[in-house]
Chain A
Amino acid sequence: MELLRFTTAGSVDDGKSTLIGRLLYDSKSIFEDQLDAVRRASVQKGSEYLNLALFTDGLRAEREQGITIDVAYRYFATPQRKFIIADTPGHIQYTRNMVTGASTANAAIVLIDARNGVIEQTHRHTFLASLLGIPHIIVCINKMDLMDYREDVYTRILNDFQDFANHVFPDQDMRFIPISALKGDNVVKPSENMPWYVRGTLLHHLETIPISQDHDLVHPRFPVQYVIRPESDEFHDYRGYAGRVAGGFFHPGDKIIVLPSRLESEIESVDAYNTALSEAHPPMSVTLTLKDDVDISRGDMIAGANDIPQESCNIDAMICWMNPRPMQLQGKYALKHTTQDVRCLIQEISYVLNISTLNEIKDKKALQMNEIARIRLRTTKPLFFDPYKTNRITGSLILIDESTNETVAAGMIL
């Protein structure tokens, strides 16, 4: 059985929490005691019906205010797949949480309220999903029950969405499903109220989207995470480079190059615990041993000898600023890229992006929280990277404010 991670994006009134509750409830993933607890809470809140949204709100403040304020992870499985839902808030002040949940997702559900159609938040969430490189987007047009389940409403919204989407991500895999999370139409059970729609329920899409190509299977990339040196009698000379394959394939006998030293060698073995493998690919965690006695440490990268990543101290990236303290031009930050730690200086803000209009705003000297911008930065040591659209692991970075230790930005290398 495969694992699929997906996010849900939508504003607080679009019914996102109700949708997740419906997915869990109809797929029989809710246990009796959870159901009892939510029934009691629904009654307490004055609801006449079972408030499905209450399955996913966890923290005290949220339950009191009735909104979701952080990423909540929910789990369910069908005989087809295991699912991890990163349930993220729609409020603009919590963009950072949406980006967090989206960074490792295979698919994004974008929710639209059929009464309102495509709005600014739809643009923002869809753009973010595409920027974060989520391979599959499923647009759910919700509350169809309030619009009499009309096909023309669905079609109009679909067209509005595609007008916007074709500018931003022409090659994106997108699907459009008319649903009612509250009534259960087309979420898990096909809708009897919309005979004009025959393209499968939300769950059907989640179960069948092909995900085996979502990793970079082309460029061999192995960021060294930890060096294993037992120095025991039995394994006296053993030196293994442990990490998770970030791209491509590794086999015993492969010619590789170590960066930054540029020493070349060959793979001796690809080990998983006490088993020697014939092949490793993303996202396997393995230990590599090499034929030669080269000096490698955490932060180095082992790459295919004929397929070297780009190397530079000057990085051009799209970033999302995540901190109340604005980013300053010429500001210095710590930077993490794969397993490497460096420091950097923000040299230039090329433009800030207006996500609604996709206009590029120039001459900005600072970045505010939740803003997306293209920047240039200079690092103290070179990074070994691929463009983010090629490889989400070797193409991503984070910035850390050293005075507070907070993670302040997510970056995607261009």
Chain B
Amino acid sequence: MGDYQLTHLKELESEAIYVLREVAAQFERPVLLFSGGKDSIVLVHLSVKAFYPARIPFPLLHIDTGHNFSETLVFRDGLAKSVSAQLLVGSVQDSIDTGRAMEEKGINASRNVLQTVTLLDAIEKNKFDAAIGGARRDEEKARAKERFFSHRDEFGQWDPKNQRPELWYMFNGKKRMGEHFRVFPISNWTEMDVWQYILAENIELPSIYFTHERNVFYRDGVWLAEAPFMEMKPTEKIEYKRVRCRTVGDISCTGLTLSTADTVEEIIREIAATRVTERGGRYDDKRSEAAMEDRKKEGYF
């Protein structure tokens, strides 16, 4: 390596901190979308670093489908407290109860898509003008085209043909009333970068990322967790397996990997040898070829 050259992790970290500070500087009411997954946990860690020794200048918002792994919720509460951040929770159940969203029925029912309604309502209610998320461009085809600062119109919608060019590192966050931005500070991080960073910085994660035993069943190439609200086909059988979550959606859409990895180093070794992408285990993405793109057009993360 040459002199005065940062490692890739240090450079990515510097870029993410720069983006977070830009959000705090350009917007009046930013919020950090916290899913409980490793990417949003890394974002909180980066936010602490960006604004130290002051507190994080924005609250955390969790869109709770009601179908979360309990470990994720416990972890969420603990993390918010430890960084002295305000935690807001948007409830998909409330959206269903008030008629704002319709519960899906059937074998492949999930509240994943309903999160969009709850999210947009929370943004409007709190008048957030920027929502920071942990999405990365390597995750999925429709995300490969995202900007750091992604403009959403007054309906929360994303028009891929109309995103502003991002030149050098100058972000144009100008908008009309009622519009907002989604900002993605770890856009250039890959799954492996995130895990290497977690290891290097010794970041704590919810236990479901590590091996544990659970009742699961096999469907369409992924193992899903058994839960009261999960409808199973007659041919599907419950088995008790050692699994871990590679990526965390809620229970209905998180594919679990058979694994005995119980440290971050072992997880990294497994991922390096793996043959399936991270989101390959996400059941929500399998629903169609352009699933993510369609959700984004409607205002998803």
Residue B164 contacts which of A230, A244, A284, A407 (CB distance < 8 angstroms)? A407
**Minimal beta-carbon separation of B199 from chain A (angstroms):** 14
In the bound complex, do residue A82 and residue B8 qualify as a contact, i.e. CB atoms below 8 Å apart?
yes
User: Residue of B at shortest CB range from A405?
Assistant: B174
Does residue A298 face the partner (Cβ distance < 8 Å to B)?
yes
In the bound complex, do residue A212 and residue B165 qualify as a contact, i.e. CB atoms below 8 Å apart?
no
In the bound complex, do residue A232 and residue B53 qualify as a contact, i.e. CB atoms below 8 Å apart?
yes
Does residue B121 face the partner (Cβ distance < 8 Å to A)?
no
In the bound complex, do residue B188 and residue A73 qualify as a contact, i.e. CB atoms below 8 Å apart?
yes
In the bound complex, do residue B277 and residue A31 qualify as a contact, i.e. CB atoms below 8 Å apart?
yes
Does residue A360 face the partner (Cβ distance < 8 Å to B)?
no
A349 to B215, CA, bound (A): 70
Does residue B52 face the partner (Cβ distance < 8 Å to A)?
yes
In the bound complex, do residue B168 and residue A104 qualify as a contact, i.e. CB atoms below 8 Å apart?
yes
A2 to B293, CA, bound (A): 32
In the bound complex, do residue A100 and residue B145 qualify as a contact, i.e. CB atoms below 8 Å apart?
no
In the bound complex, do residue B172 and residue A59 qualify as a contact, i.e. CB atoms below 8 Å apart?
no
B-contacting 9-mer, from A154-162, A175-183, A221-229, A304-312: A221-229
**B50 proximity list for chain A (CB < 8 A):** 242, 285
Give A5-33 interface residues, CB cut-off 8 Å to B. Answer: 31-33
In the bound complex, do residue A225 and residue B22 qualify as a contact, i.e. CB atoms below 8 Å apart?
yes
Does residue B144 face the partner (Cβ distance < 8 Å to A)?
yes
Does residue A398 face the partner (Cβ distance < 8 Å to B)?
yes
Does residue B49 face the partner (Cβ distance < 8 Å to A)?
yes
Known: A59-B160, A405-B175. A273 touches B4 (CB 8 A): no
A392 to B187, CA, bound (A): 22
A-contacting 9-mer, from B61-69, B108-116, B135-143: B135-143
**Minimal beta-carbon separation of A215 from chain B (angstroms):** 8
**A322 proximity list for chain B (CB < 8 A):** 165
**A338 proximity list for chain B (CB < 8 A):** 170
User: Residue of A at shortest CB range from B11?
Assistant: A3
A-contacting 9-mer, from B13-21, B31-39, B203-211, B237-245: B13-21
A403 to B22, CA, bound (A): 23
In the bound complex, do residue B53 and residue A235 qualify as a contact, i.e. CB atoms below 8 Å apart?
yes
**B144 proximity list for chain A (CB < 8 A):** 56, 58, 72-74
User: Residue of A at shortest CB range from B297?
Assistant: A60
A72 to B7, CA, bound (A): 24
In the bound complex, do residue A84 and residue B52 qualify as a contact, i.e. CB atoms below 8 Å apart?
no
User: Residue of A at shortest CB range from B145?
Assistant: A70
**A402 proximity list for chain B (CB < 8 A):** 174
Does residue B100 face the partner (Cβ distance < 8 Å to A)?
no
Q: Which residue among A32, A34, A60, A410 has the maximum number of chain B CB atoms within 10 Å of its CB?
A: A60
Does residue B235 face the partner (Cβ distance < 8 Å to A)?
no
In the bound complex, do residue A234 and residue B53 qualify as a contact, i.e. CB atoms below 8 Å apart?
yes
Does residue A253 face the partner (Cβ distance < 8 Å to B)?
no
Does residue B169 face the partner (Cβ distance < 8 Å to A)?
yes
Q: How many residues on B have C-beta within 8 angstroms of the other chain's C-beta atoms?
A: 61
In the bound complex, do residue A284 and residue B167 qualify as a contact, i.e. CB atoms below 8 Å apart?
no
Does residue A274 face the partner (Cβ distance < 8 Å to B)?
yes
In the bound complex, do residue A2 and residue B169 qualify as a contact, i.e. CB atoms below 8 Å apart?
no
Does residue A342 face the partner (Cβ distance < 8 Å to B)?
no
Render A383-414 as a binary contact track against B, CB cut-off 8 A, 1 for contact: 00000000011001110101001110010000
User: Residue of B at shortest CB range from A245?
Assistant: B14
In the bound complex, do residue A281 and residue B4 qualify as a contact, i.e. CB atoms below 8 Å apart?
yes
In the bound complex, do residue B176 and residue A238 qualify as a contact, i.e. CB atoms below 8 Å apart?
no
Q: How many residues on A have C-beta within 8 angstroms of the other chain's C-beta atoms?
A: 76
Does residue A366 face the partner (Cβ distance < 8 Å to B)?
no
A311 to B141, CA, bound (A): 44
Residue A31 contacts which of B13, B160, B274 (CB distance < 8 angstroms)? B274
Does residue A211 face the partner (Cβ distance < 8 Å to B)?
yes
Does residue A210 face the partner (Cβ distance < 8 Å to B)?
yes
Known: A283-B15, A285-B18, A410-B165. A33 touches B54 (CB 8 A): no
**B169 proximity list for chain A (CB < 8 A):** 104, 244, 393
**B289 proximity list for chain A (CB < 8 A):** 37
Does residue A103 face the partner (Cβ distance < 8 Å to B)?
yes
Residue A2 contacts which of B1, B166, B170, B274 (CB distance < 8 angstroms)? B1
**Minimal beta-carbon separation of A52 from chain B (angstroms):** 15
User: Residue of A at shortest CB range from B171?
Assistant: A336
**B25 proximity list for chain A (CB < 8 A):** 225-226, 298, 339
User: Residue of A at shortest CB range from B51?
Assistant: A228
Does residue B280 face the partner (Cβ distance < 8 Å to A)?
yes
A70 to B162, CA, bound (A): 10
In the bound complex, do residue B18 and residue A244 qualify as a contact, i.e. CB atoms below 8 Å apart?
yes
Q: Which residue among A59, A211, A231, A322 has the maximum number of chain B CB atoms within 10 Å of its CB?
A: A59
A75 to B161, CA, bound (A): 22
A229 to B54, CA, bound (A): 6
**B170 proximity list for chain A (CB < 8 A):** 336-338, 396-398
In the bound complex, do residue A103 and residue B52 qualify as a contact, i.e. CB atoms below 8 Å apart?
no
Does residue A213 face the partner (Cβ distance < 8 Å to B)?
yes
In the bound complex, do residue B165 and residue A100 qualify as a contact, i.e. CB atoms below 8 Å apart?
yes
Give A273-289 interface residues, CB cut-off 8 Å to B. Answer: 273-274, 281, 283-285, 287
A2 to B172, CA, bound (A): 28
Does residue B5 face the partner (Cβ distance < 8 Å to A)?
yes
In the bound complex, do residue B5 and residue A285 qualify as a contact, i.e. CB atoms below 8 Å apart?
no
A228 to B47, CA, bound (A): 13
In the bound complex, do residue A243 and residue B172 qualify as a contact, i.e. CB atoms below 8 Å apart?
no
Residue A59 contacts which of B2, B11, B145 (CB distance < 8 angstroms)? B145
In the bound complex, do residue A77 and residue B190 qualify as a contact, i.e. CB atoms below 8 Å apart?
yes
A322 to B54, CA, bound (A): 39
Does residue A1 face the partner (Cβ distance < 8 Å to B)?
yes
User: Residue of B at shortest CB range from A100?
Assistant: B165
In the bound complex, do residue A406 and residue B164 qualify as a contact, i.e. CB atoms below 8 Å apart?
yes
Does residue A186 face the partner (Cβ distance < 8 Å to B)?
no
A73 to B22, CA, bound (A): 22
In the bound complex, do residue A283 and residue B6 qualify as a contact, i.e. CB atoms below 8 Å apart?
yes
6 pairs, CB–CB < 8 Å, chain A vs chain B: A60-B293, A70-B160, A77-B8, A232-B53, A273-B48, A336-B172
9 additional contacts, CB 8 Å, given A244-B14, A322-B165? A2-B1, A58-B141, A58-B142, A70-B163, A73-B144, A75-B138, A226-B51, A284-B10, A406-B164
